[in-house]
């Protein structure tokens, strides 16, 4: 997934990409660990614009992914859809690195610059990062997921268990006596 910089000008260039999850090493690792399986090709709608020596790459990513609910441990599918914005800069044009013992002030345009070498921008790392950021930290099969019973392990979304929910943190047991 390389983008030749001579094809990008001030007016911009638009791209539509459909890529399999296997092309991204981190996503392949997530699949092998059973954390996320992409059920459809990953679709990118990209617009790249050149502003002097900086290349602004933005757009959206969408895909269907299968995850495990963090409360009830059930597998479920969800549609990912996120917008992103990346800024690439030739390594030769990057601001000088801070020297030890010297203080430097970063300008707003120097933050989050992704360096590249040569005449092409490799989009793989940046797009892979955006996909991982689009995944939920705590995937839930639904907002009202009740999870599993901590005593018997029953899925509380499907059945009601007979376990008592009277468990009190031993540190708070003294407060129960105050009520009676």
Please, what sign has the CA dihedral across residues 106, 111, 114, 116? negative
The low-confidence residues of the chain, meaning pLDDT below 50, are 108
Question: Could you give the number of structural domains in the chain?
Answer: 2
Distances (CA, A) of 148 to 69, 156, 159, 161: 11, 5, 10, 10
Q: Does one domain contain both 64 and 151?
A: no
Q: Are residues 32 and 111 in the same domain?
A: yes
Predicted model pTM: 0.74
Specify whether the CB–CB gap between 17 and 1 falls below 8 A. Answer: yes
> Same domain for 106 and 38?
yes
For helices 25-32 and 124-134, the axis angle rounded to 10 degrees is 40
Does one domain contain both 6 and 76? yes
Q: In this structure, are 67 and 154 located in the same domain?
A: no
Domain hosting 153: range is 146-180
Say what the pLDDT of residue 106 is: 56
Q: Is the same domain home to 41 and 8? A: yes
Q: How far apart are CA 160 and CA 80, in angstroms?
A: 32
Q: Are residues 140 and 159 in the same domain?
A: no
Q: What's the pLDDT score for residue 108?
A: 44
Q: Specify whether 130 is located in the same domain as 163.
A: no
The pLDDT, as a whole number, for residue 110 is: 54
> Which residues contact residue 36 at a Cβ distance below 8 angstroms, ignoring those fewer than 6 apart?
27, 30, 65, 66, 67, 135
- Strand partners for 77: 66
CB atoms within 10 A of CB 125: 15
Same domain, 16 and 84: yes
Please tell me whether residues 62 and 72 are part of one structural domain: yes
Instruction: At 95, give phi and psi (nearest 5°).
Output: -60, 150
Nearest Cα to 42, choosing from 24, 19, 65? 19
H helix runs in 48-115, sequence order: none
Mean of all residue pLDDT scores within the chain: 86
Q: Clarify whether residues 111 and 50 are in a common domain.
A: yes
Amino acid 136: pLDDT: 93
Same-domain check for residues 129 and 151: no
């Amino acid at each position: 997934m390389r983008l030749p910089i001579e094809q990008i000008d001030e007016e911009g260039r638009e791209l539509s990409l459909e890529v399999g999850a296997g092309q991204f090493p981190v996503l392949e690792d997530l699949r092998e660990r059973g954390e996320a399986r992409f059920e459809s090709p990953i679709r990118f709608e990209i617009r790249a614009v050149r502003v002097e020596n900086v290349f602004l790459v933005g757009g959206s990513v969408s895909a269907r992914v299968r995850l495990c609910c963090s409360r009830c441990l059930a597998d479920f599918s969800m549609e990912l859809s996120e917008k992103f914005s990346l800024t690439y800069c030739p390594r030769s044009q990057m601001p000088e690195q801070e020297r030890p013992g010297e203080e430097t002030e970063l300008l707003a345009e120097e933050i989050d610059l992704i360096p590249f070498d040569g005449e092409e921008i490799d989009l793989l790392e940046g797009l892979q990062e955006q996909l991982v950021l689009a995944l939920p930290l705590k995937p839930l099969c639904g907002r009202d997921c009740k999870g599993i019973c901590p005593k018997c392990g029953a899925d509380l979304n499907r059945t009601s268990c007979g376990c008592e929910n009277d468990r009190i943190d031993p540190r708070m047991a003294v407060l129960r006596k105050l009520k009676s």
